[in-house]
Amino acid sequence: MGVVRRVTFKDHFSQVAAGYAAHRPVYPLELVQRLAALVRTPELAWDAGCGSGQLSRQLADRFQRVVATDASSAQIAAAPAHPRIEYRLERAEESGLRARSVDLCAAAQSAHWFDLDRYYAEVRRVSRPGGVIALVTYAWMSVGPEVDAVLAAFRHEIGPWWPPERQPVDELYGALAFPFDEVEVAPLDMVARWTVADLAGHLATWSSSQALVRAEGPEQLEALLEPLREAWGEPARVRTVRWPLGMRVGLV
């Protein structure tokens, strides 16, 4: 792994890197298939703000090589090794990649944390002719009426703890500046089959949840999660959790 220097940034997730790796959903392979179909050659994909590789591993199914970068060494350390993925400790705005070397520049659930002007400049620098940029996000999940009502209450209670940078996620990136020739992509959902422990673990990785824990202690988060466990029923029960994806895709 290319952990070669210290990177300073506003860090919301290093303290929950293990939970992030265990409880963040994996993007559908169909997403990667659609993106790979847009590039001239599926040779090199760059996954910026990769976290623990939720999209990187899917990209490796269609691209010959994936460079996955993140500013958190803890996140990189939690990412599973893969023969076609090279993890590097780098900020999205300074990737360390060679100019005109990348076919797909992707950022999944991370672009709202970037300095977008500098990131877009880096995308233009590293992209090959015919390169593609894809920003992907997901906001609120749906499980079913009874559980969704409890999740709505959790969302209301946790709302004040969100950092302001997250606002574009609630808009599914629709309002982000995107100075590229945009490609329309058909709607797509991300789906997981989870127990209540999986979903509670996912909610605990949110930047808002961690802000609450830092300010008021873990017992406050547990109190907010208890109604979810009650509504879910049998802890071993597996339910389908669904997130609509927001996608901004363009030609560089």
Convert the pLDDT of each residue in 32-59 to its tens digit.
Answer: 999 999 999 999 999 999 999 999 999 9
How buried is 149 (Cβ within 10 angstroms: 0-12 exposed, 13-18 middle, 19+ buried)? exposed
Domain ranges of the chain: 14-251
* Percent of the chain with pLDDT strictly greater than 70: 92
Closest CA to 52 of 70, 75, 29: 75
Instruction: Check pLDDT > 50 for residue 6.
Output: no
Query: If pLDDT is split at 50, 70 and 90, which confidence band does 8 have?
Result: very low
Q: Using pLDDT thresholds of 50, 70 and 90, give the confidence band for residue 7.
A: very low
14-251 CATH fold: Rossmann fold (3.40.50)
Per-residue pLDDT at 133: 98
Residue 180 carries which side chain, given as an amino acid letter? F
- Checking if the pLDDT of 140 tops 50, the result is yes
pLDDT score for 9: 42
Mean pLDDT of 138-143: 92
- Give the tens place of pLDDT for each residue, 207-225: 889 999 999 999 999 999 9
Residue 66 predicted with pLDDT over 50? yes
* DSSP reduced 3-state for 168: helix
pLDDT surpassing 90 at residue 205: no
| pLDDT given at position 18 | 63
The predicted structure's pLDDT at residue 218: 94
Mean pLDDT of 163-178: 93
Is the pLDDT at 70 greater than 80? The verdict is: yes
The pLDDT value given to residue 19: 60
pLDDT digits 0-9 by tens, 95-127? 999 999 999 999 999 999 999 999 999 999 999
Please tell me what DSSP assigns to residue 130: E
The DSSP secondary-structure symbol of 2 reads: B
| pTM of the predicted protein model | 0.89
How does the average pLDDT of the chain come out, rounded?
Answer: 91
Nearest C-alpha neighbor of 80 from the set 54, 106, 111, 102: 54
Q: Which amino acid is at 79?
A: A
pLDDT given for residue 206 in this prediction: 87
